[in-house]
Protein backbone atom coordinates (compact mmCIF):
# COMPACT_ATOMS: atom_id res chain seq x y z
CA UNK A 1 0.00 0.00 0.00
CA UNK A 2 1.43 3.40 -0.86
CA UNK A 3 2.02 6.06 1.78
CA UNK A 4 -0.89 8.29 0.77
CA UNK A 5 -3.36 5.40 1.00
CA UNK A 6 -1.96 4.44 4.41
CA UNK A 7 -2.29 8.08 5.52
CA UNK A 8 -5.90 8.27 4.33
CA UNK A 9 -6.64 4.99 6.12
CA UNK A 10 -5.19 6.38 9.38
CA UNK A 11 -7.49 9.39 9.11
CA UNK A 12 -10.60 7.40 8.23
CA UNK A 13 -9.98 4.82 10.98
CA UNK A 14 -9.84 7.70 13.47
CA UNK A 15 -13.10 9.15 12.12
CA UNK A 16 -11.28 12.12 10.55
CA UNK A 17 -11.86 13.60 7.10
CA UNK A 18 -9.33 13.39 4.29
CA UNK A 19 -9.11 17.07 3.36
CA UNK A 20 -7.01 19.00 0.86
CA UNK A 21 -4.97 20.78 3.59
CA UNK A 22 -4.24 17.46 5.32
CA UNK A 23 -3.12 15.89 2.05
CA UNK A 24 -0.93 18.92 1.28
CA UNK A 25 0.72 18.77 4.72
CA UNK A 26 1.31 15.03 4.31
CA UNK A 27 2.84 15.53 0.85
CA UNK A 28 5.31 18.11 2.21
CA UNK A 29 6.22 15.71 5.02
CA UNK A 30 6.83 12.96 2.44
CA UNK A 31 9.27 15.18 0.55
CA UNK A 32 10.92 17.18 3.35
CA UNK A 33 10.98 14.98 6.42
CA UNK A 34 12.29 15.88 8.98
CA UNK A 35 11.16 19.52 8.80
CA UNK A 36 10.60 22.27 11.34
CA UNK A 37 7.03 23.45 11.73
CA UNK A 38 7.91 27.05 10.69
CA UNK A 39 9.52 25.65 7.53
CA UNK A 40 6.42 23.50 6.95
CA UNK A 41 4.22 26.61 7.30
CA UNK A 42 6.37 28.62 4.87
CA UNK A 43 6.44 25.72 2.38
CA UNK A 44 2.63 25.56 2.41
CA UNK A 45 2.13 29.36 2.29
CA UNK A 46 1.78 29.31 -1.52
CA UNK A 47 -1.12 26.85 -1.17
CA UNK A 48 -3.10 29.34 0.94
CA UNK A 49 -3.30 27.02 3.96
CA UNK A 50 -3.75 29.00 7.16
CA UNK A 51 -0.94 28.44 9.70
CA UNK A 52 -3.49 27.63 12.41
CA UNK A 53 -4.83 24.81 10.20
CA UNK A 54 -1.30 23.44 9.87
CA UNK A 55 -0.67 23.60 13.63
CA UNK A 56 -4.02 21.92 14.42
CA UNK A 57 -3.27 19.14 11.94
CA UNK A 58 0.24 18.62 13.32
CA UNK A 59 -1.36 18.02 16.74
CA UNK A 60 -3.80 15.55 15.14
CA UNK A 61 -1.04 13.79 13.16
CA UNK A 62 1.00 13.43 16.36
CA UNK A 63 -2.02 12.02 18.24
CA UNK A 64 -2.70 9.50 15.45
CA UNK A 65 0.94 8.37 15.27
CA UNK A 66 1.42 9.75 11.77
CA UNK A 67 4.40 11.88 12.81
CA UNK A 68 7.20 11.79 15.35
CA UNK A 69 9.05 14.70 16.94
CA UNK A 70 12.77 15.13 17.03
CA UNK A 71 14.85 17.96 18.48
CA UNK A 72 18.13 19.34 17.17
CA UNK A 73 19.95 22.43 18.43
CA UNK A 74 16.83 23.59 20.24
CA UNK A 75 14.62 23.23 17.15
CA UNK A 76 11.73 20.79 17.01
CA UNK A 77 11.37 18.83 13.82
CA UNK A 78 8.54 16.57 12.73
CA UNK A 79 8.85 13.59 10.44
CA UNK A 80 6.64 10.79 9.26
CA UNK A 81 6.52 7.81 11.61
CA UNK A 82 7.90 4.40 10.68
CA UNK A 83 4.44 3.45 9.40
CA UNK A 84 5.22 5.57 6.35
CA UNK A 85 8.76 4.46 5.61
CA UNK A 86 11.68 2.39 6.75
CA UNK A 87 12.58 2.37 10.42
CA UNK A 88 15.64 4.54 10.96
CA UNK A 89 17.63 6.50 13.51
CA UNK A 90 19.24 9.93 13.46
CA UNK A 91 22.64 11.51 13.66
CA UNK A 92 22.46 15.20 14.57
CA UNK A 93 25.41 17.52 13.98
CA UNK A 94 25.93 19.53 17.17
CA UNK A 95 27.53 22.34 15.18
CA UNK A 96 25.21 22.99 12.19
CA UNK A 97 22.12 20.99 13.25
CA UNK A 98 22.10 18.80 10.15
CA UNK A 99 20.02 15.65 10.67
CA UNK A 100 21.19 12.48 8.91
CA UNK A 101 18.97 9.39 8.84
CA UNK A 102 20.67 6.03 9.22
CA UNK A 103 19.77 2.38 9.68
CA UNK A 104 21.95 -0.48 10.79
CA UNK A 105 20.84 -4.11 10.81
CA UNK A 106 23.54 -5.08 13.34
CA UNK A 107 22.29 -2.38 15.73
CA UNK A 108 18.74 -3.72 15.45
CA UNK A 109 19.96 -7.27 16.15
CA UNK A 110 21.91 -6.04 19.19
CA UNK A 111 18.85 -4.24 20.55
CA UNK A 112 16.80 -7.40 20.04
CA UNK A 113 19.41 -9.44 21.93
CA UNK A 114 19.43 -6.91 24.79
CA UNK A 115 15.62 -7.02 25.01
CA UNK A 116 15.67 -10.82 25.04
CA UNK A 117 18.30 -10.84 27.80
CA UNK A 118 16.17 -8.43 29.82
CA UNK A 119 13.07 -10.53 29.23
CA UNK A 120 11.14 -7.64 27.71
CA UNK A 121 9.28 -7.07 24.47
CA UNK A 122 10.30 -3.81 22.82
CA UNK A 123 7.51 -2.29 20.74
CA UNK A 124 9.45 0.77 19.62
CA UNK A 125 12.73 2.54 20.15
CA UNK A 126 14.45 5.76 19.17
CA UNK A 127 18.19 6.26 18.89
CA UNK A 128 19.81 9.60 18.22
CA UNK A 129 23.55 10.08 17.94
CA UNK A 130 25.21 13.47 17.95
CA UNK A 131 28.61 14.76 16.97
CA UNK A 132 30.04 16.58 13.98
CA UNK A 133 28.97 15.95 10.39
CA UNK A 134 31.69 15.48 7.79
CA UNK A 135 31.60 19.13 6.69
CA UNK A 136 31.76 20.61 10.21
CA UNK A 137 34.39 18.09 11.26
CA UNK A 138 36.68 19.04 8.39
CA UNK A 139 36.11 22.78 8.92
CA UNK A 140 36.76 22.54 12.67
CA UNK A 141 39.81 20.28 12.32
CA UNK A 142 41.13 22.58 9.56
CA UNK A 143 40.70 25.60 11.85
CA UNK A 144 42.41 23.75 14.73
CA UNK A 145 45.33 22.79 12.51
CA UNK A 146 45.73 26.38 11.28
CA UNK A 147 45.57 27.66 14.87
CA UNK A 148 48.23 25.15 15.96
CA UNK A 149 50.49 26.16 13.08
CA UNK A 150 50.14 29.85 13.99
CA UNK A 151 50.91 29.12 17.65
CA UNK A 152 53.96 27.03 16.70
CA UNK A 153 55.32 29.75 14.41
CA UNK A 154 54.91 32.35 17.20
CA UNK A 155 57.06 30.21 19.51
CA UNK A 156 60.02 30.21 17.07
**pLDDT truncated to tens, each residue of the chain (156 aa)?**
588 999 999 999 999 999 999 999 999 999 987 899 999 999 999 898 999 999 999 999 999 999 999 887 777 889 998 888 778 888 888 888 888 888 888 998 999 999 999 999 988 888 888 899 999 998 887 666 555 555 555 555
Handedness of CA 137, 138, 143, 145 (dihedral sign): positive
| DSSP conformation class of 61 | H
Domains of the chain and any CATH numbers: 3-155 (1.10.10.10)
Handedness of CA 101, 105, 110, 114 (dihedral sign): positive
| CB atoms closer than 10 angstroms to residue 32 | 13
Instruction: Report how far Cα 70 is from the mean position of its chain's Cα atoms.
Output: 6
Q: Is 79 exposed, middle or buried (0-12, 13-18, 19+ CB in 10 A)?
A: buried
Nearest to 16 by CA among 82, 66, 79: 66
pTM beyond 0.75: the answer is no
Tell me the β-bridge partners of 131. Answer: 93
Amino acid sequence: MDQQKTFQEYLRNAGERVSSPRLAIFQVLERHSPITIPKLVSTLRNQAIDPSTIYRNIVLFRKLGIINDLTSKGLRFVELSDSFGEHHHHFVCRNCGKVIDFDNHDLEKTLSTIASTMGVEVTSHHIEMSGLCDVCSSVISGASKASSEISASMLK
